[in-house]
Structure 1
Amino acid sequence: MTTSGRLPAIPPLFLTDEDVAALSNWTHAIDAVRGAYTAAESSTRTPGRIFAQSPREWMRIMPSVPESGRLLGAKSIVGSFGEELRVSYLISLFDKETADLVALIDGNRVTGLRTAATTAVGTEAIAPARPLTVGVIGSGFEARSHLTALAYLLEFAEVRVFSPTQSNREAFARDFDAQLSAPVTAVTSARAAAEGADLVLCAARSRDESPTVQAEWVGPDATVVSIGSTTPGQRELPAALLARATVVVADAPEEVVHGSGDLIAARAEGVDVDSLVVPLSGVLLGEIPVDRDAGIRVYKSTGSGLQDIVVAEMLYDRARSEGYGHELPVGIVTTKK
């Protein structure tokens, strides 16, 4: 304990889920992510996830000290298997210069915003620069957010969507057909969505954790986006598809290699995943050349605290300039050591 502490000069801001919804902006989120991945980063700035758990509850911490921006912080994810699984997300932001608490943000919507924004940036870097035929596997929140974000950076020739529930895939097709300049149709199988597609977006968890797309469905020069296998027990892409890939671009290479069920299974089946996986930052900076027109290119995401913090800073800045959020009546003490 010390008596040299002081409270922040500016009260911390709390952003509710409604505030985040009002402030979310795809262009600003994409710009924030691109800026983060084209700055000089290191593993010490954004280490891997920290887990604490018991049979009944768990907590995951995703910290980051981005090279870009004025703020640092962490996203905390808390889950409880009480009467049912319930999960809460909280992002805390601190000033780099003063260590003052700047904001607490409900992270419920931030995860989807930052994940899809990063996918858009990563996919643009490896997909052909022409109108694309897109196959979407999934019709839920992730599929919707990712197709929306991708539309900001890519041009579509047509979009085909499959999910197991007919009404869901038809609603997805109807909604996006009205939003996009390209036709969007619902198809009756994942194969029909993927075959002949320039870009295959995998955004659906399989019920039995088996791959949702098969290697033989994917063309020799397709781009594949995989965002649904983020833990060792989850599967989305088969090892045979990864064996055909020329490159796997990862937002968090260490976690993709060691924490994604797809890459773990591929290694077990003899795929040299270490030579395949490259960092998104290296591709964006031009350090790792990728032929956007030849070979199967995979974008693989497990998420990162870096994405959370830079997007949260964008939301905080917009909140201050546009009058959103709730100033807290108290703050935490910052002390000299």
Structure 2
Amino acid sequence: MSTNGELPKNLPLFLTDADVASLSDWSGAIEAIRAAYQAPGDEAGTPGRIFAQTPREWLRIMPSVPPSGQLFGAKSIAGSFADGLRVSYLISLFDKDTADLVALVDGNRVTGLRTAATTAVGTSTIVPQRPLIVGVIGSGFEARSHLEAFSHVLQFAEIRVYSPTPANRESFAAQFDGAFGAPAHAVGSAREAAYGADLILCAARSRDESPTLQADWVGPDTAVVSIGSTTAAQRELPAELIARAAVVVVDSRDEVVNDSGDMIAARAHGVDVDSLVATLNSVLSGETDIDSEHGIRIYKSTGSGLQDIVVAEMLVDRARAEGIGTTLPVGIVTSRK
């Protein structure tokens, strides 16, 4: 506590879920993510997520001080099992120079936006710049949003999709058939989606948390994207596939290597995981070179607060410029220590 607190000169802005929807687009999110990962920085600015939980409630905090931009802060995810599972997301943003509270942002849509935008940036570093045959395993929200984000950085020759539910994969294929200048069609198995593909997008977890992709389905010069397993209990890629990889590009070294079920299992099978991993920052900064034509290249993501904060800052900048959002009638005190 301090008695010399000061109220901010500018009152904080609040962006609702509807505001975020009106301000969002893939190009802006991708540009914000790319700029953040190109900037010099270290993982100390974006530590691992913090958990607090009881049998009925849980709270996850994802803080970040991005190397780029003017704002820093955290995304809070609150969950309660009191009435089924209810979850809310809140992003709080502070000014780097004054520590003033700048904005509160409903993070509901930001999570999906930043996840697919980051994957698009990461995938662009491991694939050749030519029309690609893309195999998609999964047909839900993540698969759809990622394909839309990919369309801003990749070229498509063909899209194949597999989902265990025929109606879902048919609907997915119908939505994307011709949408990006390439045919899309549903296939009857994950193997059929993956076999012979230039790029495989894994965007669905199996019910028993076993891998959804098998190593012998993957060609020797294929790129693989894994975004469906983000905790130690979840599996998406088999250890045999990771062992064959030339490189695994990750959004966060510590969390992917130590907290992802895929990488934990690979290490348990004797794979030297650490020697395979390159951070997205090192690739975009030019520190690590990727041969995008040869070898199995994997992009593996668990998500981070960095992605939330830089996308949220982009949204706040747009909101200020366009007069969108609600200026709060009060602010919080910033104290001098």
* 1:64 and 2:64 correspond: yes
Question: Which shifted more, 79-88 or 202-211?
Answer: 79-88
Deviation digits for residues 141-160 of structure 1 (CA, Å, limit 9, x no counterpart): 10011000011000000000
Deviation digits for residues 63-122 of structure 1 (CA, Å, limit 9, x no counterpart): 011110000000001111112111111000001111110100010111111111111111
User: Could you say which residue in structure 2 is the equivalent of 1:210?
Assistant: 210
CA distance in structure 2 between the partners assigned to 1:274 and 1:224 by the alignment: 18
Contact conserved, 2:6 with 2:333, CA < 8 A, in 1? Answer: yes
Partner amino acid for 2:110?
V
Partner amino acid for 2:89?
Y
CA distance in structure 2 between the partners assigned to 1:179 and 1:11 by the alignment: 43
User: Could you say which residue in structure 2 is the equivalent of 1:74?
Assistant: 74
User: Could you say which residue in structure 2 is the equivalent of 1:310?
Assistant: 310
Question: Which shifted more, 173-182 or 103-112?
Answer: 173-182
Question: Which shifted more, 174-183 or 16-25?
Answer: 174-183
SS at match of 1:126: coil
User: Could you say which residue in structure 2 is the equivalent of 1:90?
Assistant: 90
Query: 1:2 offset after TM fit, Å?
Result: 2.4
CA distance in structure 2 between the partners assigned to 1:47 and 1:10 by the alignment: 29
Query: 1:28 offset after TM fit, Å?
Result: 0.7
SS at match of 2:62: strand
Question: Which shifted more, 41-50 or 305-314?
Answer: 41-50
Query: 1:179 offset after TM fit, Å?
Result: 2.0
CA distance in structure 1 between the partners assigned to 2:2 and 2:299 by the alignment: 49
CA distance in structure 2 between the partners assigned to 1:164 and 1:324 by the alignment: 42
Query: 1:275 offset after TM fit, Å?
Result: 0.6
Partner amino acid for 2:290?
V
Query: 1:178 offset after TM fit, Å?
Result: 4.5
- Within a 5 Å distance, the mapping from 1:240-255 to structure 2 comes to 240-255=240-255
* 1:167 and 2:167 correspond: yes
Question: Which shifted more, 221-230 or 177-186?
Answer: 177-186
- Within a 5 Å distance, the mapping from 1:228-267 to structure 2 comes to 228-267=228-267
Partner amino acid for 1:38?
Q
Contact conserved, 2:43 with 2:252, CA < 8 A, in 1? Answer: no
SS at match of 2:45: coil
Q: Report runs of 4+ in structure 1 exceeding 6 Å deviation.
A: none
Query: 1:11 offset after TM fit, Å?
Result: 1.3
CA distance in structure 1 between the partners assigned to 2:167 and 2:317 by the alignment: 40
Percent identity between the aligned chains?
Answer: 72
CA distance in structure 1 between the partners assigned to 2:69 and 2:97 by the alignment: 11
User: Could you say which residue in structure 1 is the equivalent of 2:105?
Assistant: 105
SS at match of 1:219: coil
**RMSD of the alignment, in Å?**
0.8
- Within a 5 Å distance, the mapping from 1:14-33 to structure 2 comes to 14-33=14-33
Partner amino acid for 2:113?
L
* 1:37 and 2:55 correspond: no
CA distance in structure 2 between the partners assigned to 1:82 and 1:164 by the alignment: 31
- Within a 5 Å distance, the mapping from 1:101-140 to structure 2 comes to 101-140=101-140
How many aligned residue pairs are there?
Answer: 337
Q: Give the TM-score normalised by structure 1.
A: 0.99
Query: 1:140 offset after TM fit, Å?
Result: 0.6
CA distance in structure 2 between the partners assigned to 1:43 and 1:126 by the alignment: 22
SS at match of 1:274: helix
SS at match of 1:182: coil
CA distance in structure 1 between the partners assigned to 2:100 and 2:273 by the alignment: 42
SS at match of 1:109: helix
CA distance in structure 1 between the partners assigned to 2:217 and 2:36 by the alignment: 34
Query: 1:334 offset after TM fit, Å?
Result: 0.9
CA distance in structure 2 between the partners assigned to 1:200 and 1:44 by the alignment: 32
CA distance in structure 2 between the partners assigned to 1:113 and 1:215 by the alignment: 30
Query: 1:3 offset after TM fit, Å?
Result: 2.6
User: Could you say which residue in structure 2 is the equivalent of 1:198?
Assistant: 198
Contact conserved, 2:40 with 2:285, CA < 8 A, in 1? Answer: no
User: Could you say which residue in structure 2 is the equivalent of 1:335?
Assistant: 335
Q: Give the TM-score normalised by structure 2.
A: 0.99
CA distance in structure 1 between the partners assigned to 2:208 and 2:88 by the alignment: 25
Partner amino acid for 1:177?
D
User: Could you say which residue in structure 1 is the equivalent of 2:269?
Assistant: 269
Query: 1:42 offset after TM fit, Å?
Result: 1.1
Partner amino acid for 2:94?
F
